[in-house]
A and B are shown apart, each in its own frame.
Chain A
Amino acid sequence: MPRPFSMKKVIITGPHSVFEKVVKELHDMKVLHVVDHSKNELADIGKPFADSQRYSELLVKARALISALGVTGERKRSNGINGIEEAEIRIRNLGNELNGVLHQIKEDDETISKNESMKKELLAFGSINVPLEHLAEYKSLNVFAGNLKDAESIDNIKKKLKNITDKSLFEHESSFFVFFVESKKKEETLKLLNSHGFKPIQLSNFGSLKGTANSNISRMEHESNDCLSRKIELTKRLERMKIDNAEFLLKTESHLSKELEKLEAPLKCASTESCFLVKGWVPENDLFQSIENLEKVSGGKIHVWYDAPKSSDNVPVKLNNINPAKPFEFFLDLYSFPTFKEIDPTFFVFLTFPLFFGMMLGDVGYGLVGMVLFWFLKRKIKSAKNLFNILIVSSFVSILFGFLFGEIFGYEFIEHPVINRAHDILTLMIISVIIGAVHLNFGFILGFINERKSHGLMHAINTKLSWIVLQIGIVLIGLSLSNLINLPWYTGAGFLALSVIMLIKGEGIRGVIELPSILSNILSYVRIMAIGLSSVILALIINESASEFFKGGPLLIIIGVLLLIVGHAVNIMLGFLGSFLHSLRLHYVEYFSKFFHGGAKKYVPFGYLNNGNNGA
């Protein structure tokens, strides 16, 4: 039976003098799943090694540069950089340069927006050629500048002004005006202006400007253009900086985080004044080689204690599967990892998942589209490699079932296929139920093995075999009542009663309440037929409506082709989604509930940086 790798609990102790060497060796070996030490009265957690501050500061800076420059790409595993000092200098210079560039860009942006708003106000001056510096405050003169409600009132004002004073100067362009008047008459003029809807502009805004409005506008336009072209130049420079430094930054980031993991390792370990202690788990296969390596680097100054896990231990789990089944570990990653005592169901999921998926999709055309599509996506999205491998295998099985059902894009290309999905509904329903019964009973057998190991034989018989006895009872009653076998009906009833007694002994009254679930669980497998049926009916509808169009003229034929493409694309999407989720559900809900407990931690050895290459 496939089970996870067997693990050993390991405790490594030694003097501080060899601590760093041990950590480095552990990091290189990548075998120890470290269990964090929590502070207690016997030992505190360790202090990070020297330089960790320096590394972590540099790492923060490198990451800041990566995000500021928008560097993307795979974090390359590097075998080191040209020394930390060189990296420090380069990162500092890069940081300064970037700050300068960003500062300049910000300043230019500000200038441009300031000029823009000033220009709007100055445009109102139009052809009024009053130098702006003249719009200042005087002892004997008062300046008004602004808009009137309408241009017609200007003449009106001019007329009335003559009654107030003859010492004034009035310049205007449509409703905008600039108006100088002697200070003594300020109040009266303001009243007059206000009665014509006067809206003043802030003259203090122009305090520093010299020359006429028009000359200022052209000067500002010139300045803005300069800023804009400089900004384009700077953006190009940023792009160059990004291209030139991307590899260096990614490499440095990867190197630093690797180094930092080593330097900060003491934080996970227990430490006294003179010794350290590391707790963790090592796969049994690697144990002796690792101990040998550690003793070699420490010159025999350390002591390694190991033991088999106790049932109360929370053992990290490393799955042990043959290569073709490995991508299917993804499903356990999504759900839960089996504990170290349990059977690892990955291999069985590998056998049945593509089968269910294939039966549901079951079309040569759709399967081919799936294989090509997922192969392409697998190359594009490396992080979801496992998922796409699963889908490629499943699509391949769909092609095989496509030949069995004689379907290619819904067309029946074999006249008398083994099973016609659109017509042999009852046959497929019965096949689905049989598959369900077999699958579930296999689950019960796995459950029996698991229970026997964890709770003993009697418990295993009572909780798992009882369900199989129950099914035998139901089948016997059914067969004898329909006179298919020559047995009195109470033989089956006897089996039924026996199974109920076993269940009560094994699981108590809860087991009896659960009795009908066996029926609903088996019936749930009818979905294999149902999803397939809906997919094939939809394909038939698409094909039939398209063929109606093909009878018409060229335009209708084009519409028909479009209908075929869009319709099948939608149906393929629905088919993949439905087949995937329902196949997964049959495993998670119906199958796993028969034997699987899970809840273990994943084995992540020290030194194994998570590169995002396990699962989506």
Chain B
Amino acid sequence: MVDMGTGLIAVGAGLAIGISAIAAALAESTIGAAAVGAMAEKEELFGKGLILTVIPETLVIFGLVIAYLILQMAK
């Protein structure tokens, strides 16, 4: 069994990536819906729509980096 401290570190890392993923998902859902709406009107907007939709995705990457840094504490 791992000790309490390591467990909490793991929970912390999970929270870091999980919450940032939820945040990115919330942001993307609104943008994505609007982008698809715009694309239905004008198909050429696919590229711009894709870009706008994936902008919040970087949040997850930040979450991942932080999660990795937290996990380093366990070693």
Contacts and interface: CB of A to CB of B under 8 A. Distances in A.
A523 B51 CA distance: 17
8 nearest A-B residue pairs (beta carbon): A335-B47, A585-B54, A334-B47, A588-B51, A524-B58, A526-B61, A589-B51, A334-B46
A588 B50 contact: yes
A537 B46 CA distance: 32
| Chain B residues touching A, range | 10 to 19
Given A334-B46, A335-B47, A523-B62, 19 more contacts: A335-B46, A335-B48, A336-B44, A426-B68, A429-B65, A429-B68, A520-B58, A523-B58, A524-B58, A526-B65, A527-B61, A530-B61, A581-B50, A581-B54, A584-B50, A585-B50, A585-B54, A585-B57, A589-B55
Nearest to B17: A530
A585 B51 contact: yes
B47 A526 contact: no
Interface of B is mostly: helix
Interface of A: 334-336, 425-426, 429, 520, 523-524, 526-527, 530, 581, 584-585, 588-589
Nearest to B72: A426
A524 B60 CA distance: 9
23 contacts: A334-B47, A334-B50, A336-B44, A425-B68, A426-B68, A429-B68, A520-B58, A523-B61, A523-B62, A524-B58, A524-B61, A526-B61, A527-B57, A530-B61, A530-B64, A581-B50, A584-B50, A585-B51, A585-B54, A585-B57, A588-B47, A589-B54, A589-B55
Contacts, number: 41
Interface string B23-67: 000000000000000000000101110110011011001101100
Contacts of B50: 334, 581, 584-585, 588
B17 to A, nearest CB: 10
B49 to A, nearest CB: 10
Contacts of B61: 523-524, 526-527, 530
A112 to B, nearest CB: 42
A592 to B, nearest CB: 8
Nearest to A589: B51
Contacts of A581: 50, 54
A585 B44 CA distance: 17
Contacts of A527: 57, 61
Contacts of B65: 429, 523, 526
Contacts of A520: 58, 62
A526 B64 contact: yes
Nearest to A517: B58
A581 B68 CA distance: 24
A523 B58 CA distance: 8
A526 B60 CA distance: 10
A526 B66 CA distance: 12
Nearest to B62: A523
Nearest to B54: A585
A589 B61 CA distance: 15
Given A524-B58, A589-B54, A589-B55, A336 B68 contact: no
B36 to A, nearest CB: 15
A527 B54 CA distance: 12
Interface centre among B55, B64, B65 (most CB of A within 10 A): B64
A584 B50 CA distance: 9
Contacts of A589: 51, 54-55
A144 to B, nearest CB: 62
Contacts of A584: 50
A336 B47 CA distance: 7
A524 B64 CA distance: 11
Nearest to A432: B61
A94 B30 CA distance: 53
A599 to B, nearest CB: 10
Contacts of A585: 50-51, 54, 57
Contacts of B64: 526, 530
Contacts of B51: 585, 588-589
Contacts of A429: 65, 68
Contacts of B46: 334-335
A35 to B, nearest CB: 19
A530 B44 CA distance: 30
Nearest to A586: B54
A530 B62 CA distance: 11
A512 to B, nearest CB: 20
Contacts of B54: 581, 585, 589
Contacts of A523: 58, 61-62, 65
A426 B71 CA distance: 12
Contacts of B47: 334-336, 588
Contacts of B44: 336
